[in-house]
Amino acid sequence: MNPHEDKFEMFYNLLSSRTLMDDIIARTVFKSPIIVAYVLNKILKPYGELISDGYSTTQKDITNIFNRSVCFDVYFENSDYVIDLEFSKYPGDVSIKRARYYSSALDALDLPKNEPYPNMRTSYVIFIVNGPILPKQSFIERIEGFSTEKALPIKGNARYIVFVDTSQCDNSELGRMIHDLNCADPDHMQDPVLRKIMRDLKNSKEDENMLVKDMMRIFNEEFKSQMEHDRNLALQEGMKEGKKEGMKEGEEKNAKSVLEMFDSGKSPEEIKAYLKTNFSK
């Protein structure tokens, strides 16, 4: 098997166990504003919201040169709404304060320089999480960041945070869709739109589907980045152990040996065993 085929097989093995909540799929699928609006309408329907088509992108970086920057998983906007959709499999990564900060960043993004305040749109930060965030949280909870009974009728005068606990899926329309966001097997998905998307992704070959091509590109970038990261770690470990010998020659020789082992496919465990055997006192 040549290197391309080997990497392609690795990609499809990885893809088979991934869901719409995984970055490698979400970063591709949710670039489509039609799909994002479809998901948002299912989530926000209980609150009487109707999301029309707009613009969407994934992994949108919001740089703050003075304070903490953020990266929105899925960013969506149209004439009435600005929305951040976040996916997390680990409840420990999510908190009310994180949602509050993201909501503030979303509001700041919505108002360009010299834009009048009344032009702000309604904002939503939505976290879909595999577990509860709020005490005694139900399946879906909405927090009103800023709204009053008198202010609500005014366009854009509302800011909301929504938490969806995927571990509490029921048999409602929303519950079935949330189940599907967490489902790796298209044959077990219930929402017809999401089921078709996942079938197309997982059953298509690289040259047959633009989404698969885009995902393969992301996979290649991340695979290359991880390889470079691991290689640098191996180099640093080799240099560190060589320095313990107190010799420049030992440092260079050890670093070279470690890199040769890494490039030949040795695992991190094998490299550590080599270092321990050859350089431990």
**Phi and psi angles of residue 164, each rounded to the nearest 5 degrees, phi first:** -115, 120
pLDDT at 224: 58
Structure tokens at 198: 């996942």
Instruction: Report the DSSP beta bridge partners of residue 270.
Output: none
pTM above 0.85, yes or no: no
Interval 134-163: pLDDT, tens: 877 787 888 776 544 444 444 456 889 999
pLDDT at 247: 43
Percent of the chain with pLDDT over 90: 28
pLDDT at 42: 92
CB 165 within 8 A of CB 137: yes
CA atoms within 13 A on the CB side of 43: 29
Angstrom distance (rounded) from CA 73 to CA 99: 13
CB 191 within 8 A of CB 176: yes
pLDDT at 6: 53
Say yes or no to pLDDT of 202 above 50.
yes
Say yes or no to pLDDT of 232 above 80.
no
Structure tokens at 170: 């029921």
Give the mean model confidence (pLDDT) for residues 226-246: 55
Give the mean model confidence (pLDDT) for residues 156-185: 87
pLDDT at 86: 95
Interval 43-86: pLDDT, tens: 999 888 889 889 999 989 988 888 899 999 999 999 999 999 99
Which residue has better confidence, 231 or 81? Answer: 81
What SS3 string covers the chain? Answer: CCHHHHHHHHHHHHHHCCCCCCHHHHHHHCCCHHHHHHHHHHHHHHHCCCCCCCEEEEEEEECCCCCCCEEEEEEEECCCEEEEEEEECCHHHCCHHHHHHHHHHHHHHCCCCCCCHHHCCEEEEEEEECCCCCCCCCCEEEEEEECCCCCCCCCCCCEEEEEEEHHHCCCCHHHHHHHHHCCCCHHHCCCHHHHHHHHHHHHCCHHHCHHHHHHHHHHHHHHHHHHHHHHHHHHHHHHHHHHHCCCHHHHHHHHHHHHHHHHCCCCHHHHHHHHHHHHCC
Which residue has better confidence, 238 or 125? Answer: 125
